């Protein structure tokens, strides 16, 4: 069995063993099952490909393009609604409906891309509206805090909302980071509705255990650390990653994929070698994007396998 891991490639195309294919570019679209998100890649890798060990079944329902293989379903959806709260609400309603309808009711991992994620002041920030819409749909679908999927939520420069996700036939195990307040318990200053995600989810497929580590940043407790200092934020983020990897039952050697989101003015080249020395087996995808807090200069997600 191939483990459920993404490959970060220069290019790629769909065939009958591809569960999901995402391109990182300058515009946002969903066409013929291929999602393109407006997050320019800063390296050679521009495509995320999820291969299946067995042929997949492909479909489309409620605006979601998906493929499944008997174990997992990977779906992609975009919304062109400029009301980001409504876009998030409808998108998450559709995700839950399709995941359950196709027989993959457990959301393991969700990637969220929000245009101009930091625009708007205070509670009017687009990210906070996104959080409100997501929260409303997930709680309407009867998900408890400890059932939220792992996630990332970052900015993009075109479109309104683009989301892709991995859902499973059997439940994953949610893992939190003791160095950090659980996002769903963030205090009121971070918005009327807390961000609905787990720090990690661990799933078992055949003999493999896969840990999906959420977008991780320089947050300790609930506070951003090291304002304006990219190097120190990277170091703090690595400490958070090491801890959540350990809490997930994996090791730093078992981290196989890292996606790095960096703000325009952060130095992306300086991140590669510290990351490769801590996570020697990881392949890297580096993209330019905003993060969900103005003061976070970078966010890093990971996938580990055992």
157 vs 39: CA distance, rounded Å = 7
CB 98 → ligand 3EB: shortest distance, Å? 19
Nearest to ligand 3EB of 19, 241 (CB atom):
241
CB 152 → ligand 3EB: shortest distance, Å? 5
CB 84 within 8 A of CB 160: yes
Listed ranges 10-18, 31-39, 41-49, 210-218: which one lies at the site for ligand 3EB (CB under 6 A)? 210-218
CB 219 → ligand 3EB: shortest distance, Å? 4
Q: Which is nearest to 258 in space by CA: 221, 290, 287?
A: 287
Nearest to ligand 3EB of 52, 214 (CB atom):
214
Nearest to ligand 3EB of 112, 201 (CB atom):
112
Pick the binder of ligand 3EB from 266, 292, 297, 298 (CB under 6 A): 292
190 vs 185: CA distance, rounded Å = 10
Instruction: Check residue 112 for interaction with ligand 3EB (CB under 6 A).
Output: yes
Residues 126-155, interacting with ligand 3EB (CB under 6 A): 151-153
Instruction: Check residue 213 for interaction with ligand 3EB (CB under 6 A).
Output: no
Count residues near ligand 3EB (CB under 6 A): 13
Q: Which is nearest to 291 in space by CA: 153, 173, 164?
A: 153
3-state SS class at 216: strand
Query: Which residues, in sequence order, are CB contacts of 154 under 8 Å at separation 6+?
Result: 39, 112, 113, 114, 117, 215, 261, 289, 290, 291, 292, 299
CA 9 to the chain's CA centroid: 18
In this structure, what DSSP letter does residue 147 have?
G
Residues in contact with ligand 3EB by CB under 6 A are 112, 151-153, 183, 195, 197, 214-215, 217, 219, 292, 299
């Amino acid at each position: 069995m191939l483990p459920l891991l993404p490959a970060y490639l220069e290019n790629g195309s769909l065939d009958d063993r591809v569960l999901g294919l995402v391109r990182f570019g300058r515009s946002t679209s969903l066409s013929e099952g291929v999602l393109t998100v407006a997050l320019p890649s800063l390296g050679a890798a521009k495509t995320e490909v999820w291969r299946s060990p067995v042929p997949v079944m492909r479909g489309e329902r409620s605006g979601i393009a998906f493929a499944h293989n008997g174990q997992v379903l990977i779906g992609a959806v975009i919304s062109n609604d400029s009301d980001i709260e409504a876009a998030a609400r409808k998108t998450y309603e559709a995700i839950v409906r399709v995941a359950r309808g196709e027989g993959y009711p457990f959301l393991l991992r969700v990637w969220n891309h929000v245009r101009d994620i930091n625009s708007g002041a205070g509670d009017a920030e687009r990210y906070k509206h996104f959080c409100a819409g997501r929260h409303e749909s997930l709680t309407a679908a009867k998900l408890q805090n400890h059932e939220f999927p792992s996630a990332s939520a970052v900015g993009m420069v075109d479109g309104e909302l683009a989301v892709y996700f991995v859902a499973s036939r059997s439940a994953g195990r949610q893992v939190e980071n003791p160095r950090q307040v659980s996002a769903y318990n963030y205090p009121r200053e971070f918005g009327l509705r807390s961000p609905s995600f787990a720090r990690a989810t661990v799933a078992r497929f055949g003999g493999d255990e896969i840990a999906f580590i959420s977008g991780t940043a320089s947050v300790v407790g609930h506070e951003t650390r090291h304002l304006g200092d990219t190097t120190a934020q990277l170091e703090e983020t690595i400490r958070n990653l090491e801890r959540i990897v350990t809490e997930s039952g994996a090791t730093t050697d078992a981290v196989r994929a890292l996606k790095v989101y960096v703000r325009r003015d952060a130095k992306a080249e300086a991140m590669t070698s510290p990351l490769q020395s801590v996570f020697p087996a990881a392949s890297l995808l580096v993209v330019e994007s905003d993060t969900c807090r103005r003061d976070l200069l970078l966010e890093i997600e990971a996938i580990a396998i055992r």
